[in-house]
């Protein structure tokens, strides 16, 4: 099926303003912030443009064009026991609007509480605009609405043709967007970086008798040519949906659980939460006193590499403008680093690690434990292969972990019957230590680059 003639075949205009123009707006806001007892100011500006096309049942369900911009200003006033801060934002970049948003931030800063740890990052830690690396993150997609529709339709058609039990789709979406962000502060530094992101996602519905199940798959990349073939994405969504048919709860048991790569990165995300500065200074992390201790199995490493070209999580600086660096967060199983921004670092009496906003482009590796997913199933023997997890059941203060789940029962290393409506539970400290295998098929679509993780000794609670 081809797109109707009334859909444009011209590439959608997702052009962005010139970086120099946006830097000038940020600098203007910083200039307006001078005087009136102000001891520091920071400003950030983001501009983005995007297109999303959604097709369902071969028909165009939605065409969305998006253009957003937002400028935020934070002002610091001196107090007797620390700094008072005030923040305000605007979408209007005219001179009078910039002056007004700065005035509002100044007014707010007169009434907020004093904080001895508030303020700008140390000037010496700021990224150098003249030495900023080109991370090759900007790859616009010259995509027309008609082409996006055809791409979505071909993906949906592949899902429907993959299995006779696929009766319909919940929709296929093509998304492309470009953005530029600028930040600066009264240290005299103004930084800019731009990037693109593209994705294709498909959700399929399988039916057998009165039972219906749905599942999805997607591709995502900074480069449009790397999101994956639409046919492959549609077929995988279909296989995942069909595989759920006939799923039932299982008897409660303690067993190994295999987190596929797309779910394993969520497990690593819980680790990031436990080593983040906010949870540390609030004393709400189960890893509060774990620095330099064995948290993961020997041989496992978690490394931040924020300057990898085109990677989804790469950045030259954190959200405060502090330069980012390669860091070993876990080395040979031992915890080696926290994730600190300037504020949390001061609260802890430490220095910023350049991680305001979290970790950036993290690699999980364990050479001695790496195997194919099939080999990990064989190693598991008898257990559960996850396909879905629901809810947010991590208590980072205690490490307790409990989430709804679905997947497949594994028997003798082979995938058996589908399982649904179960709960997977354990304690994160025990789970990290019980990782017995890492998959060789790494998921590169997100900020955490990891393969599957095989975790022993989890409670799977069912009927």
Instruction: Give how far Cα 376 sits from Cα of 243, 371, 372, 416, 430, Å.
Output: 20, 6, 6, 15, 19
For the chain, which ranges sit under pLDDT 50?
1-3
Contacts of 33 (CB under 8 A, 6+ apart): 41, 43, 73, 75, 102, 105, 106, 186
Please give the DSSP secondary-structure letter assigned to residue 105: H
- pLDDT for 234 equals 98
- pLDDT for 391 equals 83
Q: Give strand ranges (E) for 114-210.
A: 166-185, 189-208
- pLDDT for 36 equals 83
- pLDDT for 392 equals 79
Answer whether 51's CB lies under 8 Å from 148's CB.
Answer: yes
Q: Read off the pLDDT of residues 77-122 as tens digits, 9 standing for 90 and up.
A: 999 999 999 999 999 999 999 999 999 999 999 999 999 999 999 9
- pLDDT for 393 equals 80
Q: Give strand ranges (E) for 123-270.
A: 166-185, 189-208, 211-221, 253-259
- pLDDT for 8 equals 86
- pLDDT for 1 equals 43
- pLDDT for 2 equals 45
Q: Read off the pLDDT of residues 278-318 as tens digits, 9 standing for 90 and up.
A: 999 999 999 999 999 999 999 999 999 999 999 999 999 99
- Helix, strand, coil percentages for the chain (3-state, nearest 5): 25, 40, 35
User: β-pairing, 383-390 with 400-411?
Assistant: antiparallel
- pLDDT for 5 equals 55
């Amino acid at each position: 099926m081809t797109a109707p003639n009334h859909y444009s075949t011209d590439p959608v205009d997702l052009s962005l303003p010139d970086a120099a123009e946006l830097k000038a707006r940020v600098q203007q806001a910083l200039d307006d912030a001078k005087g009136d007892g102000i001891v520091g100011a920071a400003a950030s500006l983001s501009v983005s443009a995007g297109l999303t096309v959604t097709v369902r049942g071969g028909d165009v369900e939605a065409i969305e064009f998006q253009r957003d911009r937002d400028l935020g200003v934070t002002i610091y006033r001196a107090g007797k026991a620390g700094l008072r801060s005030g923040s305000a934002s605007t979408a209007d970049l005219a001179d009078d609007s910039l002056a007004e948003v700065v005035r509002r931030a100044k007014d707010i800063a007169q009434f907020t509480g004093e904080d001895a740890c508030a303020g700008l990052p140390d000037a010496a830690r700021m990224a150098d605009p003249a030495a900023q690396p080109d991370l090759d993150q900007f790859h616009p997609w010259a995509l027309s609405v008609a082409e996006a529709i055809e791409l979505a339709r071909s993906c949906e058609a592949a899902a429907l043709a993959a299995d006779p039990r696929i009766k319909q789709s919940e929709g296929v979406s093509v998304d492309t967007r470009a953005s530029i962000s600028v930040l600066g502060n009264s240290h005299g530094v103004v930084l800019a970086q731009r990037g693109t992101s593209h994705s294709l996602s498909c959700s399929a519905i399988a039916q057998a008798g009165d039972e219906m199940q749905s599942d999805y798959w997607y591709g995502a990349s900074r480069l449009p040519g790397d999101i994956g073939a639409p046919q492959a994405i549609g077929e995988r969504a279909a296989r995942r949906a069909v595989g759920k048919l006939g799923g039932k709860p299982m008897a409660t048991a303690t067993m190994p659980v295999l987190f596929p790569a797309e779910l394993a990165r969520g497990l690593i995300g819980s680790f990031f939460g436990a080593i983040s500065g906010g949870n540390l200074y609030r004393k709400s992390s189960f890893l509060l006193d774990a620095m330099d201790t064995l948290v993961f199995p020997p041989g496992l490493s978690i490394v931040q590499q924020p300057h990898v070209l085109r990677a989804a999580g790469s950045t030259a600086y954190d959200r405060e403008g502090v330069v980012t660096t390669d860091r070993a967060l876990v080395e040979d199983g031992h915890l080696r680093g926290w994730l600190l921004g300037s504020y949390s670092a001061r609260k802890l009496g430490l220095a910023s690690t350049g991680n305001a906003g979290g970790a950036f482009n993290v690699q999980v590796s364990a050479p001695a434990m790496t195997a194919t997913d099939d080999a990990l199933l064989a190693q598991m023997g008898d257990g559960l292969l996850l396909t879905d997890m629901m809810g947010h059941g991590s208590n980072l203060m205690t490490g307790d972990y409990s989430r709804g789940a679905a997947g497949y029962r594994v028997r003798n290393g082979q995938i058996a019957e589908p399982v649904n409506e179960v709960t997977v539970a354990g304690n994160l400290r025990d789970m990290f230590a019980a990782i017995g295998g890492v998959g060789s098929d790494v998921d590169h679509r997100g900020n955490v680059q990891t393969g599957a993780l095989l975790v022993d000794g989890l409670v799977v609670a069912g009927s």
